[in-house]
Amino acid sequence: MAVGNLDMPVMHPVQGVRIGITEAAIRYKNRRDLTLFEIAEGATVSAVFTQNSYCAAPVLLCRDHLARATPRYLVINTGNANAGTGSVGMDNAVATCRALAALMGVPEARVLPFSTGVIGEHLPVDRLAAALPAALARLDANAWADAAAGIMTTDTRPKGASEQVVVGGMTVTVTGISKGAGMIRPNMATMLGYVATDAAVAQPVLDELLKGAVNQSFNRITIDGDTSTNDSCVLMASGAAGNAVITSADSADYAVLEGAVQRVFARLAQLIVRDGEGATKFMTVQVEEGASTDECCDVAYCIAHSPLVKTAFFASDPNWGRIVAAIGNAGLAALDVSRVRVYLNAVCIVDNGGRAPAYTEEQGAAVMQQEEITIRVCLGRGSARDTVYTCDFSYDYVKINADYRS
């Protein structure tokens, strides 16, 4: 089940980046579950990772490798998270990098490993390593759509976005893929996200570009409030487009590239919510008139995480009491509820801290029948605002997660 348009767009190839996908039988047979990225020499690469303290072995190894070298290869497996696996898990992550490095004649530190799937089971690194030659043989600049399918777990649709803009007189491409449908409340990025551009970008500027894009996209979505052990997001800049290297975030070229990157990230993040496990509603939680951005986010996440709110939306029940209860749970100091207003789309349901005088249950019910709904909260405390995207909880969410290991 998915909400809205999840169709794969035209995925423009990115000069300097090739992708290979194959079957390694990591967890299931006859399923593409191993994906490689090859990044051109001279590229810059930036990445962010989960803030879950119980993070997976590949996350720890990626951080170490990034501190030592610029990556040439990314190796991604699905079906097994290699998390909660102790020293054996780290050994398997190292063995993955060593196997690919040996095939390609590069230092191990120039390979980054990524895993997603079941936590607590050891990665079958022998099967993974045996499949590497097949993935390498299929390296292709036009394989983005296949890669989007290759990194899926409980996703029902592959997720991709792609744009082209003119930077410094050169056509520049930004293309990316993501995966994720459950255990989603990133504190950095998404479950897995890979975005590449052929623009030339200096490393400090790329780091800033990634941070800004993540904070307004993957850090503004939630399915169930759970932050994964494996969340990872990578932004690659091959430099193959031929533009002058972007060395400042204050330049006009940066502004153009930033716009394209942010649009791609926003689309990838929202696709995850639209494909949330069992989702039937896409919900935008917009909080305005806050004293700070942080408190706007606190309120938005309290609403977006509330099982009572999410199940009411699944039932198309305009039970606005659940929304105001969630607002109150955000812990805002000295909140004057008499100044709070709440809207479902354009319908004012709460005013002066209580039911809006003109509101009728029929108005609320009509909005709740829609697939895409905006909850807008006006706090009456200031001028800050922010937005979080989420989905409802359906019977299928429980079933998917109850049967996850079956």
Which is it for the CA torsion 130, 131, 135, 138, positive or negative?
positive
CA 245 – CA 239 distance, rounded (Å): 8
Largest CA distance in the chain: 72
pTM, two decimals, is 0.92
Q: Which helix (H) or strand (E) holds 307?
A: helix 307-314
Q: Please state, for a pLDDT cut of 70, what percent of the chain lies above it.
A: 96
Q: What is the pLDDT of residue 182?
A: 57
Please give the DSSP secondary-structure letter assigned to residue 230.
S
Q: What is the pLDDT of residue 189?
A: 41
Name the token pair of 200. 């030339």
Region 338-362: mean pLDDT is: 95
In three-state secondary structure terms, 237 is strand
* Active-site choice (22, 190, 280, 284): 190
For residue range 154-206, what is the model confidence (pLDDT) as tens digits? 788 899 999 999 999 999 999 999 998 655 555 544 479 999 999 999 999 99
Domains of the chain (ranges; CATH) run: 17-274 (3.60.70.12), 282-402 (3.10.20.340)
With contact defined as beta carbons under 8 Å apart, do 185 and 222 qualify? yes
Q: Which amino acid is at 30?
A: N
For residue range 56-97, what is the model confidence (pLDDT) as tens digits? 999 999 999 999 999 999 999 999 999 999 999 999 999 999
Concerning whether 171 is annotated as a catalytic residue, the answer is: no
For residue range 280-292, what is the model confidence (pLDDT) as tens digits? 999 999 999 999 9
The CB-side HSE value for 61 (13 A sphere, CA atoms) comes to: 29
Q: What is the pLDDT of residue 36?
A: 98
